[in-house]
Amino acid sequence: YTNASRVLLITDSNSSVNTMLQNARVRGILRGRAGQSPIMDYLPQDQRITAGDIVVTSGEGGNFPAGIPVGQITDVLQNDVEMFQRGVVRTTVDFDTLETVLVITNFTPLNELRIPVE
């Protein structure tokens, strides 16, 4: 198909998206969990993560532009013996009632941009 797209919801257990907390600029990876809210993983223990923090795409990895709203932290899972803390994320979109999507067709990942040499 020449005009087709592959779609994978961020709630899918096969999904992982490079994300960051909008205000704190703390980076992590959002992982989908079947039937449950996604988890933002690999958040450093020394960073203050709180319920209400806004999660956006980071732009790293080249799959998504930076700054797309993904959701909001609802709960922080922290254990002093683990290297990272995690955040439970309530997605911005209710995927059960979603009817319209935006398909980005002209996105060039940062790692593919060429800087002209003078």
pTM above 0.85, yes or no: no
Domain range annotation of the chain: 16-112
- Say whether 72 sits in a helix, a strand or coil: strand
Q: What is the CATH number of domain 16-112?
A: 2.40.10.350
Q: How would residue 103 be classed by pLDDT, with cut points 50, 70 and 90?
A: confident
Comparing 19-33, 43-57, 98-112, the range with the smallest average pLDDT is 98-112
* Residue 37 DSSP code: E
111 confidence band (pLDDT: 50, 70, 90):
low
Q: Which residues on adjacent β-strands are paired with residue 76? A: 87
> Which is more confident, 46 or 95?
46
Distance CA 21, CA 73 (A): 9
pLDDT exceeds cutoff 60 at 113? no
pLDDT for 5 equals: 74
Predicted confidence at residue 50, as pLDDT, reads 95
